[in-house]
Amino acid sequence: MAYSAEELRNIFESELGSISYPNEPKLLYNPIEYALSQGGKRLRPVLLLLTNQIFGGAIEKAMPAALAIEIFHNFTLVHDDIMDAAPLRRNVPTVYKKWNQNVGILSGDTMFAQSSRLLAKIEPSLLPEIIELFFKTAIEVCEGQQYDMDFESQEEVSLETYMEMIRLKTAVLLATSLKTGAILAKAPVSESEKLYTFGIHIGLAFQIMDDLLDVFSDQELFGKQTGNDIVTNKKTWLYLKAYDLADEATKAKLDSAFGLSNQFAKVKVETVTELYNSLGIKELAYQEISNHYLKAVKVFESIDLPDETKEPLKKITLAMAKRAF
């Protein structure tokens, strides 16, 4: 039986919700349950399961890897929120805000261990390849996060360097989800590599859209504090593109706005948003997102499967680029 993306998400939610945690220590396990119960689109596990399905794999055999990927992803969010001083995620207080930083660090560490433990349940003959891919990706995600933090104190960051950072921080985990699903279904190596490349372009588009939504979305819909990237001086695609296009006077205004302290957060966000609007940054960001999506489609079309078999995966990735799924 072939499942739709929505059906796979529901099956996955049921599996994730069935995981039981010890009662003690409460300050270790309650935050994990809290972090994993806040919903989210479950994009990565759904991509893994959907890819596995279109190559003829068995969902029950792929489920431990899907759980591992999602718990690992949420571990990175718990730690990222501490480093970014983000008060909200999915429109509720972040773990460190609800408890404290130490709780967030330790609970996150436990989530990483839990994700690794789940991987040990996959088919033994495939375990070495999956483990190598998973830990390579985990290291790359950490490299990406470090670059992201480095950028906050660096005066000059190029768009090229930024794109490499988001490839590591965001895109590789999406790509790994797709490739893992293919490997578990014993797909040809050539096809799993195509899916990885496909995932990289979708991931880049996804992160630029995230940058865009941080500034131009409604907080209730986005689930995070609007303008937080501006408040925390993050050098996003929008900021770097604006700086590339700005004349000296506009650059001075950007520098002045980003130099404001957090007590002037509202003014800071409003000023930078106005400057972005004057430079047409929103429209340029949509164009960049479209460029990466088109590159992804080109790779996707070369995957050696019938179009009707690939259609569910194509549908969900299109929605991802638009953040609609």
pLDDT in tens, 87-114: 888 889 999 999 999 999 999 999 999 9
> Quick one: pLDDT at residue 324?
46
pLDDT at 273: 95
Three-state DSSP class for 92? strand
- Strand, coil or helix: what is 166? helix
Res 174: pLDDT:
96
Please state the rounded mean pLDDT for residues 6-30.
96
Residue 186 CA to residue 195 CA, distance in Å, equals: 13
- Partners of residue 92 on adjacent β-strands: 89
Predicted pLDDT of residue 325 = 41
Digit-coded pLDDT (tens) for 203-249: 999 999 989 999 987 655 555 567 888 988 888 999 999 999 999 99
Beta bridge pairs of residue 93: 88
For tokens 């992201």, what's the residue?
A: 148
Mean pLDDT score across all residues of the chain: 92
How far apart CA 254 and CA 277 sit, in angstroms, is 13
Distance CA 173, CA 223 (A): 21
Average pLDDT estimate for 34-57: 94
Exposure string over 243-259, b if 16+ CB within 10 A, otherwise e: beebeeeeeebbeebbe
**Band of residue 2 on the pLDDT scale cut at 50, 70, 90:** confident
Give the pLDDT band of residue 321 (cuts 50, 70, 90): low
Q: Whole-angstrom Cα distance, residue 156 to residue 147?
A: 13
- Mean pLDDT over 10-33 rounds to 96
Q: What DSSP state is assigned to residue 80? A: H
Enumerate the H helices of the chain as residue ranges.
Answer: 5-17, 26-36, 43-54, 59-84, 95-98, 101-119, 127-153, 159-166, 172-184, 189-216, 219-222, 228-231, 237-245, 248-258, 265-279, 281-301, 307-322
Query: Contact, 314 vs 300, CB < 8 A?
Result: yes
Type and span of the H or E element at 93: strand 92-93
Mean local confidence (pLDDT), 108-123: 97
Tell me what pLDDT residue 84 has.
84
pLDDT at position 189 is 97
Closest Cα to residue 190, out of 200, 181, 179, 201? 179
Distance (Å, whole) CA 15 – CA 46: 12
**Mean pLDDT computed over 39-62:** 94
Calculate mean pLDDT across residues 153-159: 90
Look at the block and give the residue holding tokens 């953040």.
323
With a pLDDT cut of 70, the percent of the chain lying above it is 96
Contact indicator for 169, 141 with CB cutoff of 8 Å: yes
Q: What is the pLDDT of residue 322?
A: 63
Per the CB < 8 A criterion, the answer to whether 162 and 199 are in contact is no
CA distance 179 to 170: 15
Q: Can you tell me the mean pLDDT for 49-56?
A: 96
pLDDT at site 85: 85
Could you say which architecture CATH assigns to the domain 5-322? Orthogonal Bundle (1.10)
Q: Do residues 72 and 45 make contact, with C-beta atoms less than 8 angstroms apart?
A: no
- The C-alpha atoms of residue 134 and residue 139 are separated, in whole angstroms, by 9
pLDDT above 90: residue 80: yes
Could you tell me the two tokens for 117? 């433990």
pLDDT exceeds cutoff 70 at 63 = yes
